[in-house]
Amino acid sequence: MNELCVVDWSISDTQKWLEKEGLSLETRTILCEANRMSGKFFLALTEQDFAMEPISKLILRDRKCLYMAVKLLQRENQNSMISLGLIELPSVSLYTPNNSYLKHNDYSDYCESDFISRPASEDGRSQKLPPEIFKLFISFCYLIFVTWITAFVMVIVHDRVPDMNKYPPLPDIFLDNVPLIPWAFDMCEISGTILLTIWLVVLIFHKHRFILMRRVFALSGTVFLLRCITMLITSLSVPGTHLQCRPKNITSGDVFLFSDIAAKISQAYVIWSGGGLAIQGVRTCGDYMFSGHTVALTMLNFFITEYTPRNLYFLHITTWVMNMFGIFFILAAHEHYSIDVFVAFYITSRLFLYYHTLSNHQGLVQRDYRRTRIWFPLFSFFESSVDGIVPNEYDTPSGIVKNIWCVIKCQLNLLRQFAYDCRNRSSFIGDRDTASTMDFKKTK
């Protein structure tokens, strides 16, 4: 019986289960022999059934025992109840206080209704994945805002970089033992460009591209916002003597750090428009803790490996190799200390894994939604409509062209409808004015 699904239990299997739960012979006889109750009918029992005959005629001990056994059986077989049409998936989210099938105010005659997390599919994949383009737009604006803040902070820390004559490079195990490779930093940025190209290809063909873009914008923005704080609070000395870094001379009195805001904004725009890349002519100093290049390389690597099929071993190995070699090139160019790249890799990878662990297992946060909203506000907002793992499903090129054409066609239909409504409105106003004029002439 234990190997059978509850739906497949026969009457004899049900009798054995009732005996195991400690119900008396009289109760088993009434339920199974007199009323022919099999397994699936126990899944269909409701609060009203317990208040009606024959269950209401049972002795109190057997009624309580049967109630607890049925509740546990129903909780353990939610997927079977869904397939039988006994319960439906509720449209709940992290913002909905009642994350259960039964409302919090619904009480039975026997005990308070249980909170039950919504079931996922057999493999844990999400059963509803709305694109929610407005959330994508918000995450994009969030990333743009953070990158502007980052560029502005980089201008400030560049002016505060310690004097190289006073503060030589700090001792570093890697930098002290690996000679400078002048072209290494360019190779790091080339590796990042290749990873970005691969990621863009994944986005083009992935069916859930809007969710993927939303996640990469949200995670990247959060990591770079944290980087702004670490860069600003502590200024490390320049890691290599080959770097030409000179702090801006700031004197006391009327000259203040933020006095020339326009100049700083102009410099920040140069950094922002160039993406902070040396191959784009951007050279900055002081932005060491932690490495932004390592963040970009690691984030792209993790997103590519997460949202491509598991059997693409060559691709995953390639992205990991490019990630590791990119980090090596950063250190070989003596552009960052070893601690900079280590902290960057650790923070980026942990944040990525924590975010996806929570989003893939919404049951972990459903019961504590208030704390989730306080400590993870962005996660609570962006992932409120995702109830499981985002499957790696892809569109064909013809499917992508068809989708684009459908979007264009819908927009054209909306424009035609809008133009038609405008013409009707203008015609109505004209007819109304004409009628008013005629009435005025008749009255006169």
User: Which positions are annotated as active-site residues?
Assistant: 293, 336, 340
Which of 345, 331, 230 lies closest to 286 in space, CA to CA? 230
**Cα–Cα distance, 50 to 108 (Å, whole number):** 10
CA dihedral 107, 111, 117, 122 (to 10 degrees): -120
**Cα–Cα distance, 222 to 377 (Å, whole number):** 12
Cα angle at 365 between 360 and 369, to 5 degrees?
135
Rounded to 10°, the helix 292-306/313-332 angle is 180
Is the CB of residue 106 less than 8 Å from the CB of residue 47? no
Question: What single-letter amino acid sits at 229?
Answer: I
H helices present in 251-291, as ranges? 261-273
**Cα–Cα distance, 46 to 108 (Å, whole number):** 10
Is the CB of residue 274 less than 8 Å from the CB of residue 282? yes
**CB contact set of 185 (below 8 Å; sequence gap of 6+):** 278, 329, 330, 333, 335
**Cα–Cα distance, 90 to 96 (Å, whole number):** 11
CA 207 to chain centre: 16
H or E element that contains 339: helix 338-360
Q: Residue 401: how many CA atoms within 13 Å on its side-chain side? A: 3
Question: Collapsing DSSP states into helix, strand and coil, what is residue 126?
Answer: coil
Question: What single-letter amino acid sits at 273?
Answer: S
Count of H-run helices and E-run strands, the chain? 18, 0
Which of 45, 47, 25, 46 lies closest to 37 in space, CA to CA? 45
* Both tokens assigned to 178: 């690996």
**Cα–Cα distance, 82 to 209 (Å, whole number):** 29
